[in-house]
Amino acid sequence: MFEWIISILLLIGGCFILVGSIGLVKMPDFYMRLHGPTKATTLGMASLLTAAMVFFSTTQAGLSIKEILISLFLLLTAPISGYMMIKSAIHHKLDCIERTKGIDNIEDDV
Amino acid sequence: MLETVMLIVFAMVGVSLLLNVWRLLVGPSVPDRILALDTMYINSIALIILYGMSMGTTLYFEAALLIAMLGFVSTVAVCKYLLRGDIIE
Amino acid sequence: MRLEAKYNWLPSPFLSLLLFIVWLFLNNSVSNGHIVLAIILAIIIPLATKPFRTKQPLIIKPGLAFRHLLLVLYDIITANVQVAILILGPTKKLTPGFVKVPLDLTHSMPITILASTVSLTPGTVSAEVYPWNESLTEDEEPQERFLLIHVLNLEDEQALINTIKERYEAPLKEIFQC
């Protein structure tokens, strides 16, 4: 029973991590590449860590909930590092692909 | 069954690490490389947790937590350096 | 918006609660010794770091904050499935775009929370807060601000702005009462 839950959670996590990295390689410009790692990889890690939590709670004595800390930490920090990266990309005026709408919305920085 | 699933997930995380290395080498700009490194450390946490699970020990948890913290701080520090040309003003 | 906590010895109650929980999680036990140590740390660390931190608005409605947290968690899961489908689908069909969202929030802490939820939820990453000056002193008149976001697949700009304002910004305004 628990083996099934762990396996499904592990597979979901692995799939999301893989999707995030595929997005990193496949997308044409930096701004689109950022979407894969900030979202898919974070959820993949959360799912994988939940699997680890269930695994250690069932195989070893006592409940093991400290894996939540890593997923909490990643959930908190992923948007901030994404924000810093897109800020530096805008500062360096990286090219976006041509069909990007609303480029005028970017203001010049000081 | 769990051993097979773990092997499959090991392979998935390994392939993602290879994809990240490809993006790290190809670039083309500096923020791209930072993004590749950022994704890489998250994927290596996944690898460490998986390894701990297959060994059946929770000893690797602290290492994973430390990698998460140091990786975040270094990503922000490098971005700050790119933005300002200085880390602590 | 309330900036000061009720008691002097407890400058930020939610930080203390978080420290208490994190200490117990790290040690993975609820024995008496760890609980005492957690309480001591949860009181001493916020007091010791109080001079370094700027004053932030306190959460006034914790129940609503908890409900908003659950909503955001649910949205993270659904949005991730959407983004995964978009990433695996054909790249040529995607039309990315930059959108400017006008903000009603004024203080930096609620804006940070809003930007983080926007980054984690539907195919969007928050990029920038305009105008540039970062710190508002308390007597300064709050000016209108914009949040610049990058959207992976932009279809209807106005609908997206309305969703963000109603779904994520309105609860935040109520939680912090600002």
Interface test with A, best of B15, B75, B79 (most A CBs within 10 A): B79
**Which residues of chain A neighbour C97 with C-beta distances below 8 Å?**
100-102
Task: List pLDDT tens digits, range A21-77.
Answer: 888 888 888 888 888 888 888 888 889 888 888 888 888 777 778 888 888 888 888
Q: Is the pLDDT of residue B32 over 70?
A: yes
The CA-to-CA distance between both ends of chain C, in Å, stands at 5
* pLDDT the model gives residue B74: 92
Residue window 25-84, chain B: list those with CB within 8 Å of chain A: 29-32, 34-36, 38-39, 42-43, 45-46, 49-50, 52-53, 56, 58, 61, 64-65, 68-69, 72, 75-76, 79-80, 82-83
Looking at this protein, which amino acid is placed at residue C124?
T
- All structural domains of chain B, each given as residue ranges with its CATH number in brackets, are 2-84 (1.10.287)
The answer to whether A44 contacts chain B (CB < 8 Å) is yes
A45: which residues sit within 8 A by CB, 6+ positions away?
Answer: A13, A17, A70, A71, A74, B42, B45, B46
When the candidates are 1.20.120, 3.30.200, 1.10.287, 3.20.20, the CATH number that belongs to A2-104 is 1.10.287
Domains of chain C, by residue range, sit at 13-52, 89-176
**Distance between CA C161 and CA C99 in Å, rounded?**
8
Q: How many CB pairs under 8 A join A and C?
A: 121
Give residue-wise pLDDT tens across range B50-81: 998 888 888 888 888 899 899 999 999 988 88
CB contact under 8 A, C128 and A35: no
B43 against C128, higher pLDDT = B43
Query: Could you count the other beta carbons within 10 Å of the beta carbon of residue C18?
Result: 14
Q: What SS3 class is residue A101?
A: strand
Q: Mean pLDDT of all residues in chain C?
A: 79
* pLDDT given for residue C154 in this prediction: 78
Q: Which residue has the higher pLDDT, C18 or C92?
A: C18
